[in-house]
């Protein structure tokens, strides 16, 4: 029996090794799609060749080719696609100049014959078409495709207002950028042997539209103030320009450089840059210059990539730059005006604090533009017209300790970070230490990772350090390693017990560590029955049930039952008060809500008391009805107001800790009940971290292995502190258990 081929999305575009900006875009987009959804869906390429003058050694991903000037090719390829059942849709990367005919109208018979849904990505939208045929070709394409994707709202507005295209067909998805960890300019310069230089750069395939001569002419006054300035012109000449006129433009630029005496301050890197080379140079760039001459440029990969590498930007006021650059991220200048470029550069350079702030703003503005986020947005549109998209991602991110190690030292894990830089002055807290110890103990149990073991030792030592003589714990420790408590935290106590339980229950950790953990636990036994916080009670139950599995005793069993009965009593009182309309333990949902039913699932697991199971199911189902009300994605209770009975729920300021609690509880529910609904919801809750949320943005940062601190109404909180990173870590470990 022949196995059917995987569902495929066919991308119709120029493609590397053809040297073309759209080719690079298509490669990056399809790679991102494959990375996020492999192995369930694959991208394939229909490559557009330039007039038969070049032969390209394409990768296997390219399954078809078209000569752009051969009408017959367009017709034949459409008929071939119709006969291939595994191709579910076609995404056309559109630029008028890469298709044959009058303003690329050879694409029209292709669309006319195509029997698969087609999505058009328009890289250029002209606000005032210089030729009436442009408008008619654009309108004809719009009629034949299922949807149109543009990269800025300005382009969308032009399609609606100038071309009369139905706005329901138009979607805005930004140009993608690679997920680069926040760069150290100093380290990047050292790697490229540019230490001590003030670096400007411009990259892309060289042609007259780049306007680089105006940037060069702006430099003499800059160099008087900054003799260490270096302007890097990165990239080979455009192959069509090289074919038609050779290196005439590059030689013109060289003459200007010699005339102005800038030989030591302007350098060319005359080659088609690899992605790694490009990122390295942009990470080392202090200010990116985009002096292009085309005011109608609707998208710029060069500006997008510069934003993602924390570059302040000086750019001419074309369509795209005007949409993405403001005074927080750089300066816009007039076309063909070296004086304006000079003025803009000096404005940024004369205030170092301003320059660094602009770079930071550029970087964080670009976070919604990462290829992972762009791929997710494309998939959402594809799935409207071709039901081929898996409900869950095919490949989950690798479990990594790098960022947790980065936040940790030999004492404990540091609470907060300024972006991705640990803020030592924020000190340490038991809550984070407990989460970190729990996660590393679990990871060691599964993998015997030596790094995880070393971290468990550090976190267990900290736990000993903060335990008081009466068995309770200090929660906060300053960076000077002195106690800094404002009262005791029941939640921290409970989390500590939860964490100790995982260490005690380990079968692979060294026996001296599990014994030390049990010794710490034994000093706490007098405090459980005095707990009032329902979350502290729940955390404690989770820890006690783990300990009970290893150290079975009537005493621990009784503690589990006493605490669980307390939750049962409070739940029944609330249900009776509301006449079965509010199936919850309190009159509000706040934080870590899922921990309450999770505790009862685990209590049932070790006691076999059916009342715990019944209330666990009732309460988690009630909570699910609220947090999964959208059906398409998980939406934890926002901390901007929470949700009180008879009030309105808060949707925003969503926290990774709440998403993690949901994943862990739903995994527990599935493990105990074997009900697949809980497994599906656990996966959906985990995907909140991977972009399945109201912003369609990744909350987990694949570049660092950390996690952003929260999800607001319009944007992420871009700091990556211990709590959020550990929340993701615990959720990732939990979902692994049911994968």
Q: What is the DSSP string of 106-148?
A: THHHHHHH--S-EEEEES---SS-SSHHHHHHHHHHHHHSSEE
pLDDT greater than 90 at residue 603: yes
Residues 6+ apart with CB under 8 A from 168: none
* Distance separating alpha carbons of residues 709 and 212, to the nearest angstrom: 40
The DSSP element (H or E) to which 44 belongs, if any, is strand 42-49
**393 falls in which pLDDT band (50, 70, 90)?**
low
Mean pLDDT across the stretch 61-71? 93
Q: What is the pLDDT of residues 24-54, one digit of tens each?
A: 999 999 999 988 887 778 899 999 998 766 7
* Per-residue confidence (pLDDT) for residue 130, from 0 to 100: 82
Calculate what percentage of the chain has a pLDDT beyond 70.
Answer: 98
Name the residue among 122, 143, 41 with its Cα closest to residue 88: 41
Name the residue among 504, 508, 506, 509 with its Cα closest to residue 524: 504
* Per-residue confidence (pLDDT) for residue 394, from 0 to 100: 58
pLDDT greater than 90 at residue 205: no
Distances (CA, A) of 630 to 588, 625, 636, 647, 684: 20, 9, 11, 19, 11
Name the residue among 10, 20, 204, 8 with its Cα closest to residue 99: 20
* Per-residue confidence (pLDDT) for residue 1, from 0 to 100: 36
The DSSP element (H or E) to which 717 belongs, if any, is strand 716-717
pLDDT greater than 70 at residue 391: no
Mean pLDDT across the stretch 687-704? 91
* Per-residue confidence (pLDDT) for residue 50, from 0 to 100: 85
* Per-residue confidence (pLDDT) for residue 392, from 0 to 100: 54
Residues 6+ apart with CB under 8 A from 477: 412, 427, 428, 429, 462, 465, 466, 483, 484
Does the fold of domain 185-369 match that of domain 8-172? Answer: yes
* Per-residue confidence (pLDDT) for residue 275, from 0 to 100: 87
* Per-residue confidence (pLDDT) for residue 390, from 0 to 100: 56
- 3 state DSSP class of 729: helix
* Distance separating alpha carbons of residues 379 and 225, to the nearest angstrom: 50
Domains of the chain: which residue ranges? 8-172, 185-369
Mean pLDDT across the stretch 104-113? 95
pLDDT greater than 90 at residue 5: no
pLDDT greater than 90 at residue 717: no
Low-confidence winner among 415-424, 599-608, 620-629 (lowest mean pLDDT) = 415-424
* Per-residue confidence (pLDDT) for residue 389, from 0 to 100: 60
* Distance separating alpha carbons of residues 435 and 333, to the nearest angstrom: 50
How many beta carbons lie within 10 A of that of residue 386, not counting itself? Answer: 17
pLDDT greater than 70 at residue 255: yes
Strand 421-422 vs strand 417-418: parallel, antiparallel, or unpaired?
Answer: antiparallel
Fold of 185-369: Rossmann fold (3.40.50)
* Per-residue confidence (pLDDT) for residue 55, from 0 to 100: 82
**2 falls in which pLDDT band (50, 70, 90)?**
very low
CA angle, corner 611, sides to 606 and 612, nearest 5?
A: 45
* Per-residue confidence (pLDDT) for residue 718, from 0 to 100: 85
Q: Are 705 and 693 in contact (CB under 8 A)?
A: no
User: 236 is written with which tokens?
Assistant: 């080979």
- 3 state DSSP class of 529: helix
Name the residue among 681, 711, 21 with its Cα closest to residue 305: 21
* Per-residue confidence (pLDDT) for residue 344, from 0 to 100: 97
Fold of 8-172: Rossmann fold (3.40.50)
Q: What is the DSSP letter of 413?
A: B
Q: What is the pLDDT of residues 651-686, one digit of tens each?
A: 999 999 999 999 999 999 999 999 999 999 999 999
Torsion on CA atoms 477, 480, 486, 490, rounded to nearest 10: 0
Specify the long-range contacts of residues 190-198, CB closer than 8 Å, at least 24 apart.
191/280, 191/284, 192/280, 192/281, 192/284, 194/230, 194/284, 196/228, 197/228, 197/229, 197/230, 198/226, 198/228, 198/229, 198/230, 198/286, 198/349
* Distance separating alpha carbons of residues 594 and 665, to the nearest angstrom: 6
């Amino acid at each position: 029996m022949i196995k059917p081929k995987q569902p495929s999305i066919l991308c119709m575009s120029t493609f590397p090794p053809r040297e073309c900006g759209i080719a690079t875009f298509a490669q990056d987009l399809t790679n991102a799609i494959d990375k996020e959804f492999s192995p369930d869906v694959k991208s394939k390429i229909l490559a557009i060749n330039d007039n038969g003058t070049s032969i390209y050694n394409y990768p296997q991903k390219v399954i078809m080719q078209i000569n752009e000037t051969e009408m017959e090719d367009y017709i034949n390829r459409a008929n071939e696609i119709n006969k291939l059942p595994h191709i579910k849709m076609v995404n056309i990367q559109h630029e008028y100049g890469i298709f044959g005919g009058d303003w690329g109208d050879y694409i029209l018979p292709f669309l006319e014959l195509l029997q698969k849904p087609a999505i058009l990505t328009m890289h250029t939208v002209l606000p005032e078409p210089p030729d009436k045929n442009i408008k008619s070709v654009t309108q004809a394409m719009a009629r034949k495709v299922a949807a149109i994707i543009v990269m800025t709202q300005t382009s969308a507005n032009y399609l609606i207002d100038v071309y009369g295209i139905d706005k329901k067909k138009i979607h805005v998805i930004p140009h993608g950028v690679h997920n680069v960890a926040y760069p150290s300019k100093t380290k990047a310069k050292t790697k490229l042997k540019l230490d001590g230089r003030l670096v400007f750069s411009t990259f892309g395939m060289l042609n007259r539209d780049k306007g680089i001569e105006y940037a060069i002419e702006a430099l003499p006054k800059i160099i008087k103030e900054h003799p260490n300035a270096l302007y890097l012109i990165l990239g080979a000449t455009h192959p069509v320009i090289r074919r038609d006129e050779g290196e005439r433009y590059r030689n013109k630029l060289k003459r200007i450089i010699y005339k102005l005496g800038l030989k030591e301050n302007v350098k060319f890197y005359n080659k088609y840059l690899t992605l790694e080379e490009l990122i390295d140079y942009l990470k080392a760039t202090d200010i990116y210059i985009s002096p292009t001459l085309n005011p109608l440029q609707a998208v710029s990969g060069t500006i997008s990539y510069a934003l993602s590498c924390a570059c302040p930007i000086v750019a001419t006021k074309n369509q795209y730059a005007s949409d993405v650059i403001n005074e927080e991220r750089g300066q816009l200048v007039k076309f063909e005006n070296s004086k304006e470029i000079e003025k803009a550069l000096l404005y940024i350079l004369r205030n170092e604090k301003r320059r660094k702030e602009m770079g930071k703003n550029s970087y964080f503005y670009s976070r919604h533009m990462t290829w992972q986020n762009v791929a997710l947005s494309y998939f959402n549109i594809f799935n409207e017209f071709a039901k081929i998209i898996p409900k869950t991602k095919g490949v989950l991110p690798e479990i990594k300790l790098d960022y947790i190690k980065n936040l940790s030292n030999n004492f404990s894990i540091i609470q907060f970070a300024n972006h991705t830089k640990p803020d030592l002055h924020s000190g340490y807290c038991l809550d984070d230490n407990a989460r970190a110890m729990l996660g590393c103990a679990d990871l060691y149990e599964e993998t015997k990772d030596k790094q995880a073991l070393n971290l468990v030792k550090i976190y267990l030592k900290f736990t000993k350090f903060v335990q008081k003589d009466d068995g309770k714990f200090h929660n906060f420790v300053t960076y000077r390693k002195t106690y800094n408590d404002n009262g005791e935290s029941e939640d921290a106590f409970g989390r500590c017990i939860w964490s100790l339980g995982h260490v005690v229950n380990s079968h692979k950790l060294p026996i001296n560590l599990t014994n030390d953990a049990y010794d710490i636990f034994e000093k706490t036994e007098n405090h459980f029955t005095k707990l009032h916080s329902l979350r502290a009670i729940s955390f404690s139950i989770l820890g006690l049930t783990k300990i009970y599995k290893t150290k079975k005793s009537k005493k621990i069993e009784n503690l589990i039952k006493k605490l669980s009965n307390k939750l049962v009593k409070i739940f029944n009182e609330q249900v009776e008060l509301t006449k079965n309309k509010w199936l919850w333990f309190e009159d509000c949902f706040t934080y870590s809500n899922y921990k309450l039913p999770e505790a009862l699932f685990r209590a049932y697991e070790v006691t076999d008391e059916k009342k715990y199971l019944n209330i666990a199911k009732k309460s988690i189902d009630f909570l699910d009805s609220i947090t999964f009300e959208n059906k398409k994605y998980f939406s934890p209770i926002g901390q901007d107001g929470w949700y009180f009975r008879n009030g309105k729920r808060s949707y925003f300021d969503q926290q990774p800790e709440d998403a993690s609690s949901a994943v862990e509880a739903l995994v527990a529910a599935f493990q105990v009940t074997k009900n697949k609904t809980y497994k599906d919801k656990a996966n959906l809750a985990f995907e909140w971290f991977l972009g399945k949320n109201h912003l369609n943005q990744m909350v987990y940062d694949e570049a660092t292995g950390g996690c952003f601190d929260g999800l607001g109404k319009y944007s992420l909180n871009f700091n990556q502190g211990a709590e959020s990173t550990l929340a993701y870590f615990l959720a990732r470990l939990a979902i692994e258990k049911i994968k």
